[in-house]
């Protein structure tokens, strides 16, 4: 089974980069591929819990929950969360199934993936 | 067999953390065959006068471990800069060589 990795930089609700990442990841999952996403810098905000549902706007938290439920692996830059105050509430600050990680995980994802996409 | 990884820096060191984070990742992936390429406004990150507080330790590590940091000559020249403006330990390369380096990579990580 082939594997696609994402190095993903963008926070939610400012551009459509999160939606692009989500749609590409879903397409890869539908094709039976393994999906590994590393959320770097502002992208860690995409997995914060409690994102308000706004009609007509893609809820990024829900979409990431769905990706994880469908088997995507989501790793989060721990330092990026620390500087953004996301670790104050422990793991409750981000969605279940997403994992704390560090930059060495990027090396792992590159080694484990057939292709790596960078989305900023 | 480890992959060839090229970390591509594109953004300036002021007003963005991207060069610092790119160099941090270059250190993190350095167990693989890694090169760093600097194009566009990221070349300002390697000027002698630039405050490198956020990434000097990464740059020092890359130098000590002989991981190449390649600066695009075209990007320098269009900004009126030359090798003399740059810190030691980085290498200025022709644009065609920079493109070859990227083309030969198994993975490119763009910052």
Structural domains of chain B, with CATH: 4-110 (3.40.1260.10)
The tens digit of pLDDT for each residue in A71-102 reads: 999 999 999 999 999 998 666 789 999 999 99
For the domain A3-119, what is the CATH superfamily, name and number?
DsrEFH-like (3.40.1260.10)
Q: Identify the DSSP state of B86.
A: B
Contacts of B31 in chain A (CB under 8 A): 107
Here the tokens at position A44 are: 């860690």
CB contact, 8 Å: B29 with chain A? yes
Helix, strand, coil percentages in chain B from 3-state DSSP, rounded to 5:
40, 25, 35
ipTM score over 0.90, yes or no: no
Q: Which helix (H) or strand (E) holds A75?
A: strand A73-77
Model pTM?
0.92
Question: Are the Cβ atoms of A106 and B28 closer than 8 angstroms?
Answer: yes
Q: Which of A104, A116, A120 sits opposite B28 (nearest CB)?
A: A104
Name B2's Cβ contacts closer than 8 Å, sequence gap at least 6. A111, B31, B32, B33
User: Residues A77-101, buried b or exposed e (16+ Cβ, 10 A)?
Assistant: bbbbbeebebeeeeeebbbeebebb
- On whether the CB atoms of residues B35 and B72 are closer than 8 A, the answer is no
The pLDDT tens digits for B75-97 are 999 999 999 999 999 999 999 99
């Amino acid at each position: 089974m082939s594997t696609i990795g994402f190095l993903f930089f963008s926070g939610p609700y400012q551009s459509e980069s999160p939606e692009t990442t989500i749609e590409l990841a879903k397409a890869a999952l539908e094709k039976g591929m393994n999906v590994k996403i590393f959320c770097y810098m502002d992208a860690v905000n995409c997995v914060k819990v409690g994102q308000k549902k706004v009609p007509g706007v893609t809820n990024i938290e829900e979409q990431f929950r769905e990706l994880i439920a469908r088997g995507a692996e989501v790793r989060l830059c721990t330092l990026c969360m620390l500087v953004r105050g996301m670790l104050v509430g422990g793991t409750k600050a981000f969605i279940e199934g997403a994992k704390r990680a560090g930059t060495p995980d990027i090396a792992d994802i590159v080694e484990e993936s057939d292709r790596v996409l960078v989305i900023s | 067999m480890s992959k060839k990884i090229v970390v591509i820096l594109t953004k300036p060191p002021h007003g963005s953390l991207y060069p610092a984070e790119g160099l941090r990742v270059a250190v993190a992936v350095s167990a693989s065959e890694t090169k760093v390429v600097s194009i566009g406004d990221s070349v300002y990150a390697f000027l002698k006068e630039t405050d490198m507080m956020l990434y000097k330790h990464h740059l020092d590590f890359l130098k000590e471990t002989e991981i190449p940091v390649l600066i695009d000559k075209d990007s320098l020249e269009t900004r009126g800069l030359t090798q003399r403006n740059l810190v030691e330990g980085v290498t200025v390369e022709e644009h065609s060589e920079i493109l070859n380096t990227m083309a030969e990579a198994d993975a490119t990580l763009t910052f």
